[in-house]
Amino acid sequence: MDREKIREVLNDLVRKGFVRRVDDQWQIEHAGREEMKRLRREVLESSGRREEVLSYCKEFEELNTWFKDLVTRWQVKNEGGMLVPNDHSDPEYDLAIIRELGELHRKTVDVLEKLSKVLPILKTYITRLNRALNLVMRGKIEYLSGVDVQSYHNIWFELHEGLLRLSGLKRVE
């Protein structure tokens, strides 16, 4: 999409009260969030596969529990009953977690492939997660949970948030 088209779309969203410009950033307004909620419901209902999508979202929730545990173990280690920050000086420990991430990734892609047959826009998450995993596998460990890059964790969080909103499921803490 070219810059002029983007400007046109954003101006239309401003006119409708869905977004506003604050300094050099765009923020979604309450009306915009409500419109997104309405559109998500519409997409889900018009697919004719609502229950199927909800079952895939529940599958993803199970994977999310595993992922949260994996990221916790990536960030902190249990040493003699004490949780200490993982300084990544133990390559065997890190490699075991990276291998486990590969296994989790395969199962996640299976769920996303099923979901994307109903909601094709979700295919982009497969591509993005693949890229992050490949970078981790090549030794760029910041792509597992780094905050300043398109890390696996950041992409996962975005995906999870979207699936929660789409499905109406509640976050499991």
Per-residue pLDDT tens for 6-49?
999 999 999 999 999 998 899 999 999 899 888 888 888 888 98
**pTM for the whole thing?**
0.85
> What's the CA gap between 129 and 102, in Å, rounded?
11
Domain boundaries, the chain: 1-47, 48-167
Residue 97's pLDDT is what?
98
pLDDT in tens, 99-130: 999 999 999 999 999 999 999 989 999 999 99
Residue 173's pLDDT is what?
67
